[in-house]
């Protein structure tokens, strides 16, 4: 994935820190116990530049995590309560997957350099995820997308929470299993041949056979939850973490986890629990969302 980057706009004073209040948080929260787990890629099949290895034992404090990514309906409640304007709205442009675009041709500024399946589309933001003729109200139980790291952080603060650290995210994603590739085990298909997550089947980016049932995003409670009761920790949409991708660049890109509906082994085998990606704090795209963490 290579969504667009934009210059930082003026700070938007719309996020209001709140005391912890589960009723305002991203739907159901799952409590996770403190523990120690083996973090990293036990198969050595990641991209070297992503630094998924070595596998190391990492302690985790008890915390809670959203059972799902934040939905369009939940984000709408946040916007109604706070007046928050997202970075994609402030910039007036965001990245839409070309085959999904639904809007006037003259809203397309052009392909994103290096990744022509992404279009820079004027007027694409969380309410219009595929472009001006699309409507998030029709996707109420789908993940909110076109939200930057700053937007996600503002929502989490409003909900009395925060974004999960990478350690917390991976511990949660593993669902209590050790050394596995996915939240449910090592195989992407069930014993009866069904896909266990929303990614890409066919040839990327020209033909999506959608054998998993979803061309683009899926409702957040699709497929089966993992051993902790967390839904779609991989596939569907990338999830922002609190952490920087490279500790040597503390003001740099933030880490994304979990992969998206555009992931395919030929291009982006990053729907594994140890996989990492990143983008800048103001970047937005049609396949990036988040879930909220907080105290247990
Ligand atoms: Ca799919």
Positions of the chain with pLDDT under 50: 1-2, 4-22, 25
Calculate how far, in angstroms, residue 172's C-alpha sits from the geometric centre of ligand 1: 23
Distance separating alpha carbons of residues 53 and 45, to the nearest angstrom:
10
- Distance spanning both ends of the chain, measured CA to CA: 33
Calculate how far, in angstroms, residue 149's C-alpha sits from the geometric centre of ligand 1: 24
Calculate how far, in angstroms, residue 236's C-alpha sits from the geometric centre of ligand 1: 8
pLDDT at 210: 97
Calculate how far, in angstroms, residue 162's C-alpha sits from the geometric centre of ligand 1: 29
Given the structure tokens 């369009």, which residue do they identify?
72
pLDDT at 7: 42
pLDDT at 267: 81
Calculate how far, in angstroms, residue 288's C-alpha sits from the geometric centre of ligand 1: 15
CA dihedral sign, ordered 257, 258, 259, 260: negative
For ligand 1, a single-atom ion, the residues with CB < 5 A are 198, 212, 214, 261
pLDDT at 218: 98
pLDDT at 54: 96
Q: Which residues contact 40 (CB under 8 A, 6 or more apart)?
A: 52, 53, 54, 55, 56, 274
Calculate how far, in angstroms, residue 213's C-alpha sits from the geometric centre of ligand 1: 6
Q: Which residues contact 107 (CB under 8 A, 6 or more apart)?
A: 121, 122, 123, 124, 131, 132
pLDDT at 11: 43
Calculate how far, in angstroms, residue 210's C-alpha sits from the geometric centre of ligand 1: 5
Calculate how far, in angstroms, residue 212's C-alpha sits from the geometric centre of ligand 1: 5
Calculate how far, in angstroms, residue 193's C-alpha sits from the geometric centre of ligand 1: 15
Domain 40-72+149-294 classified CATH 3.90.1580.10?
yes
pLDDT at 17: 43
Calculate how far, in angstroms, residue 290's C-alpha sits from the geometric centre of ligand 1: 18
pLDDT at 13: 41
Residues 61-72 pLDDT 10s: 999 999 999 999
Calculate how far, in angstroms, residue 263's C-alpha sits from the geometric centre of ligand 1: 9
pLDDT at 268: 86
């Amino acid at each position: 994935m290579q969504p667009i980057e934009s210059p930082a706009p003026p700070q938007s004073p719309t996020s209001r820190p709140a005391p912890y209040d589960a009723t305002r948080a991203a739907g159901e929260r799952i409590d996770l116990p403190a523990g120690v787990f083996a973090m990293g890629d036990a198969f050595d099949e990641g991209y070297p530049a992503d630094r998924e290895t070595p596998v190391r034992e990492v302690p985790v404090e008890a915390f809670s995590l959203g059972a799902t990514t934040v939905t369009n309906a939940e984000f709408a409640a946040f916007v109604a309560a706070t007046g928050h304007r997202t970075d994609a709205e402030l910039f007036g442009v965001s990245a839409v997957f070309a085959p999904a675009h639904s809007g006037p041709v003259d809203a397309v500024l052009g392909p994103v350099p290096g990744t022509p399946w992404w279009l820079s589309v004027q007027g694409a933001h969380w309410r219009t995820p595929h472009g001006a003729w699309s409507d998030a109200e029709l996707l109420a139980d789908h993940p909110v997308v076109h939200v930057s790291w700053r937007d996600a952080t503002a929502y989490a603060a409003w909900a009395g929470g925060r974004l999960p650290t990478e350690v917390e995210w991976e511990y949660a994603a593993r669902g209590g299993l050790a050394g596995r590739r996915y939240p449910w085990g090592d195989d992407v298909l069930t014993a009866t041949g069904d896909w266990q997550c929303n990614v890409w089947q066919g040839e990327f980016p020209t033909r999506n056979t959608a054998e998993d049932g979803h061309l683009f995003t899926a409702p957040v409670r699709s497929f089966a939850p993992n051993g902790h009761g967390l839904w779609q920790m991989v596939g569907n949409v990338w999830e922002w973490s609190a952490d920087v991708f490279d500790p040597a660049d503390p003001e740099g890109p933030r880490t994304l986890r979990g992969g998206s509906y555009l992931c395919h082994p030929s291009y982006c085998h990053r729907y594994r629990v140890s996989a990492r990606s990143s983008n800048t704090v103001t970047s937005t795209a049609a396949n990036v969302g988040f879930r909220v963490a907080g105290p247990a």
